[in-house]
Structure 1
Amino acid sequence: MKLQFQHQSLRIRLDEAELAQLLSGGSVVNRTVFGPGQAWSQQIRLERTSAARLAGDVQHLDILLPYEAVTAYSLRLPCREGIVFMLDTDGDTLQLQFDVDVRDSVRQRGPARREAGSVAPD
Structure 2
Amino acid sequence: MKIQINGQQLRFRIDEDALAELLDSGHLTRSSHLSPGVRLVQRIVLGDAPDGAALQVEPGAWSLRLPRADLLDYVARLPCRDALAYVLPGGAADAPLYVGIEVDVRDSVRRRGPRRRGTGTAPDPTAE
- Work out whether the TM-score is over 0.5: yes
Moved over 3 A (4+): none
Distance of 1:34 and 1:65 partners within structure 2: 26
**Residue identity opposite 2:114 in structure 1:** P
What SS does the aligned partner of 2:25 have?
coil
**Residue identity opposite 2:28 in structure 1:** V
2:98 to 91, 95, 100: 95
**Residue-by-residue CA offset, 1:25-78 (whole Å, 9 max, x unaligned):** 332223111333211111111111231001241421111111101100000100
Task: Give 1:115 deviation, angstroms.
Answer: 2.4
**Residue identity opposite 1:79 in structure 2:** C
Q: How many residues were matched structurally?
A: 116
How big is the alpha-carbon RMSD for the aligned residues of Structure 1 and Structure 2? 1.5
Distance of 1:58 and 1:30 partners within structure 2: 15
What corresponds to 1:119 in structure 2? none
What's the % identity of the aligned pairs? 38
**Residue identity opposite 1:46 in structure 2:** L
Task: Give 1:22 deviation, angstroms.
Answer: 1.1
Q: Work out whether residues 41 and 60 of structure 2, in 8 Å CA contact, stay in contact via their aligned partners in 1.
A: yes
Q: Work out whether residues 48 and 69 of structure 2, in 8 Å CA contact, stay in contact via their aligned partners in 1.
A: yes
Distance of 2:89 and 2:36 partners within structure 1: 33
The two structures have a TM-score, normalised by structure 2, of 0.83
